[in-house]
Structure 1
Amino acid sequence: MIRRRLYAEERFSPLARWSFRLALFCLPVVALSAILYRTGLLDFTPAVVTLAAGLGLALLAAILGTVAFFITWETGWLGIGRAIAAVAIAVAVLAGPAAVLARGMMLPRLTDITTDSADPPRFRGLALAHPRESNPLQYPGTEAATAQRLAYPGIKPVDLSATPEEAFNAVLALVQKRHWRILDAIPPRGTRRDGQIEAVAESPLMGFRSDVVIRIRPTPKGARVDARSAARYGIHDLGTNAQRIESLMADLATERRKR
């Protein structure tokens, strides 16, 4: 009599396998969107579409990985490790953009923020090198100013008890520290000319550009610093311009208090 051994077939969860593949694939898609945009090989809209595709793949990987986890847990199939890895990778990819979007969706649809809506600093050098398809450099007007006051009441100019030249140098040092690309820097000349710095700031991951202009104007007690930051593309800055100005002004006030 021949004895036959019965081997229990160990199945590997297809969902676990595909969720892990999608999680790995979303990484180069997101990275490629940033690299191609930063190098100028992709315009703003295609870069955003590519980024959205990568984030969509990450979301799909997270959903499939979650389902695969419960299936492998209940059936005993292989693949629970890949399912967990897929969810972990997807969460790591989605966490940052999700936080930015969640915060931005609660804010008004603005792309141009300034500390002086009545007399906003004007772009001069940037106006000559501004892409035609980008957002206009003209300040949007009273409706945007009202929305800004309600959403960002802390956006205000900084008055310094320093000479305009000292204020200009302090602002210039902060701009250089932030690694913004300076396109123009005109120092003040007593009471005859305001100082002005124009620069381009980029977002950390994608390198989305915002145009920044900072004005240093003499006052009877020293100097007043106004700033303006405008997103070059898009219909919503998700609060990044206000955050940029608030950070700059806070650092400027702190720096002057040290002296």
Structure 2
Amino acid sequence: MTHKWTRALSWLALLLALGATIVAFTGMTLARVDRIGKLEGFGYLASSAPFAAAALVIGLIAIILNWRKGWPARRAALLGFLIALGFVGSLAVRVLMSSDAPMIHDATTDLADVPQFEAITLPDDNLRGLDNEAEWVALHEEGYPDLRSVVLDRPVAQTILDAEKLAEERGWTIRAVDPEEGRLEATAYASYIRFEDEVVIRVRPDGAGRSLVDMRSTSRVGIGDLGVNAQRIHDFLEDLAAVR
């Protein structure tokens, strides 16, 4: 191939990588500020991914050609390859990290007595993607066998106050809090798009002056959540237990 083709492929890789990144970022930003729907914003990311993958392959070819031809367009080739690598690599890492997550979007510490929302109204299709609640329970038990209630050595009211403080530090929107009743409901946010996930924390006395804490986190949109809700519960309860 001549230098003309080397330069053409180098610039094609750069333009594809930049275009895919700009389109994805624009869509996600519009969704983040609620100018478009959250899933629509995610759709921009999903539709841009194949173009970024193409840019990655073309960029690699362009780098090889540049190496053979004396680097006539090395900057365009390298930039295109690196931008595409960052785009595709970040998506691949996220998918691989959540490859074991079940295809559900509702996680809880108590499947036998699931914490219920009172101040927050869940979508009518909260079982979307599933045939019935029994299927959700089966997938949940298989995917999150270690998600369980925790017992804390503090009164119910104090536990809720500690939970409220942690929720505020995380930037959650508190929807309802009742220390005496042992309940907190809030809206949490996931990813750059700020997907809205609803959270309820239920605290009951265990009969020995301690608190039995259960938590539920569920996404308002989508079918699978890539394990986000279960991880949120793990992290929150771990931090709550560490409060002194």
1:114 is aligned to 108
1:201 is aligned to 188
8 Å CA contact 2:29–2:41 kept in 1: the answer is no
Q: Indicate the percent of aligned positions where both proteins have the same amino acid.
A: 30
Identify which of 15, 23, 30 aligns with 1:36: 30
Identify which of 221, 245, 253 aligns with 2:233: 245
Aligned-partner SS, 1:165: helix
Aligned-partner SS, 1:229: strand
Identify which of 140, 149, 154 aligns with 1:148: 140
The count of corresponding residues between Structure 1 and Structure 2 is: 239
Identify which of 202, 206, 209 aligns with 1:215: 202
Aligned-partner SS, 1:123: coil
User: In the alignment, residue 56 of structure 2 is paired with which amino acid?
Assistant: A
Question: Separation in 2 of the partners of 1:104 and 1:184?
Answer: 31
User: In the alignment, residue 144 of structure 1 is paired with which amino acid?
Assistant: W
Structure number with greater Rg is 1
Change (3 A) 1:10 1:144: closer
- Answering whether residue 173 of structure 2 is matched by residue 186 of structure 1, we say no
Quote the offset at 1:201 in angstroms.
1.2
Quote the offset at 1:36 in angstroms.
1.1
Question: Separation in 1 of the partners of 2:172 and 2:134?
Answer: 29
User: In the alignment, residue 147 of structure 1 is paired with which amino acid?
Assistant: L
Per the normalisation by structure 2, the TM-score is 0.89
Question: Separation in 1 of the partners of 2:188 and 2:156?
Answer: 24
Question: Separation in 1 of the partners of 2:201 and 2:50?
Answer: 38
8 Å CA contact 1:125–1:183 kept in 2: the answer is yes
Quote the offset at 1:145 in angstroms.
2.2
Question: Separation in 2 of the partners of 1:126 and 1:110?
Answer: 20
Aligned-partner SS, 2:39: helix
Quote the offset at 1:45 in angstroms.
3.2
User: In the alignment, residue 18 of structure 1 is paired with which amino acid?
Assistant: L
Mean alpha-carbon deviation: is it higher for 164-173 or for 102-111? Answer: 102-111
Structure 2: gaps spanning 5 or more residues: none
- Aligned CA-pair RMSD: 2.2
Quote the offset at 1:248 in angstroms.
0.5
Question: Separation in 1 of the partners of 2:61 and 2:3?
Answer: 19
Deviations 1:68-91 (A, max 9, x none): 111222233511222111111112
Mean alpha-carbon deviation: is it higher for 20-29 or for 207-216? Answer: 20-29
User: In the alignment, residue 143 of structure 1 is paired with which amino acid?
Assistant: E
Structure 1: gaps spanning 5 or more residues: 1-8, 189-193
Question: Separation in 1 of the partners of 2:239 and 2:133?
Answer: 28
